[in-house]
Amino acid sequence: MRNEMIVQGFEWDLPADSQHWNRIAEKSHELNRLGVTAVWLPPAYKGAAGVEDVGYGTYDLYDLGEFDQKNTVATKYGTKDEYLACIKALKAQGIKVYADIVFDHFMGADEKESVQAVAYRFDDRTQPISDEKEINAWTKFTFPGRKGAYNDYHWHWENFSGVDYDARNRDHAIFNFAGKGWEPQVDDENGNFDYLMGCNLDMENPETVEQLDRWGKWYQELTEIDGYRLDAVKHIRFDLFVDWLLHRREEKYDELFVVGEYWSDELEKLHEYLDSSGNLISLFDVPLHFNLYQASNSMGNFDMRQIFTDTLIETRPDWAVTFVDNHDTQKGQSLESWIEGWFKGHAYSLILLRNQGTPVVFWGDLYGTKDVEPVGPILTTMMRLRDQLVFGSMADYFDDANIVGWTCTGDFEQAHSGMAVVMTNAGGGEKEMTISAIHQGETFVDVLGNNEVKVVLDKNGQGVFPVNDGQVSVYVNEKLAKKINQ
């Protein structure tokens, strides 16, 4: 059985040429060869910005690049037929497909409506700054280009709890519709973080919840998707997805992989969400990302013994989805916290070459972005190593502020298993570590090529593994290293 490894199949600055579904389909064989077991695809439905929309400005859930809406038929990534063909191409390679679901907001309404609302402060949504008044809000979604195909429901202001613009007075504020209030079971940033952007979906409205469930049934039957990435879950009622996901599992007659994006480095908030969502949803390990970010920007002053401290991988490893960077953290984006290039190898070894958590490789690291070159052979070598090596039991040697490492025992059934990883965020050195006595007398080399020393294990499977300044080295049996580097 292959070690799980997800690729995030997009980055923010992909060209808006409607060819990305075709690109991924063409790369399906290559992704399989690299050991990828699943691909997380971007939101596939029509966004408010048309062909320029990355997918998070949700306009019409039922338009997967099929109808002439927002001045385009295709989405930024392609047409509905190309999307379905992309999914089939990945599945033909034994790769699962995870869909990105945005249930927080709609954008790009077709008509305005008059509605009573109260304005709130941007930085504290518990503090009103106006009396109840009538505003004109862009909240009516009729989807004229689709003309009722698949579903004839029109969305009105009743489906939403707030907006951030009054077209009548050209006024920007956080407007909560009269009598609605904000959902209490959300993150408490800004007092209450129910509202994020656009027309905020009202999850207390039964019709809203029913329509989202109907769409989920239609979408899963159409795509035969294997799992979901849930966007902006800190802004959505914490238990909303319980019934929605249980319905999808019943329809698929199988478990679904589900990961939520709860963007917070406060571990207790992530634990609260995991508990509130019935342990049906894994979460991205945002605290680990910020530890990696700090380490890569600390000029060697980060204590590497603390790299996993206060992270999901440390406290809830079975629900931790680990990542180095993503579309939001890349350069120029709202959550920019880019891991510096010199530390990318360190970071990916910490998520790919360990047997805890489910790692995600970012498209921009694998194939580059408009601003940054791909990580290169270090990353692809680690990916192949994760695919071809049985890790076995793991022993940590996190006993120095700068030079840390770990070993994996491998097993008897795989002839050239076993591994030692050693890294430093400052000066070089070496670390004595034990892999396993089953590998006694074997010669181990750095498969990344950062160090030329050959390490021969003693009768206890122990060796001294060197690492150069600011680098990471991964020592494997020299026969396996030759196979990996072919």
Closest of 444, 451, 445 to residue 423, by C-alpha: 451
Angle at 13 between CA 28 and CA 139, to 5 degrees: 105
**What is the token pair recorded at 303?**
């204590």
What backbone phi and psi angles, to 5 degrees, belong to 322? Answer: -95, 150
| Catalytic choice (60, 164, 202, 231) | 231
β strands within 94-150, DSSP E: 96-101, 105-106, 111-120, 133-140
Amino acid (1-letter code) at residue 62:
Y
Annotation says 226 is catalytic: no
CA–CA gap between residue 447 and residue 422 (Å, rounded): 12
CA–CA gap between residue 404 and residue 328 (Å, rounded): 29
Dihedral of CA atoms 361, 366, 372, 375 in degrees, nearest 10, equals: 90
| Catalytic choice (13, 110, 113, 261) | 261
**What is the token pair recorded at 386?**
């994760």
Annotation says 231 is catalytic: yes
Residue 403, CB-side half-sphere exposure with 13 Å CA sphere? 15
**What is the token pair recorded at 437?**
């006595």
Residues whose CB is less than 8 angstroms from the CB of residue 347 and which lie 6 or more positions away in sequence, other chains included: 292, 296, 324, 339
456: left (phi over 0), alpha (psi -120 to 50) or beta: beta
Residues serving a catalytic function are 231, 261
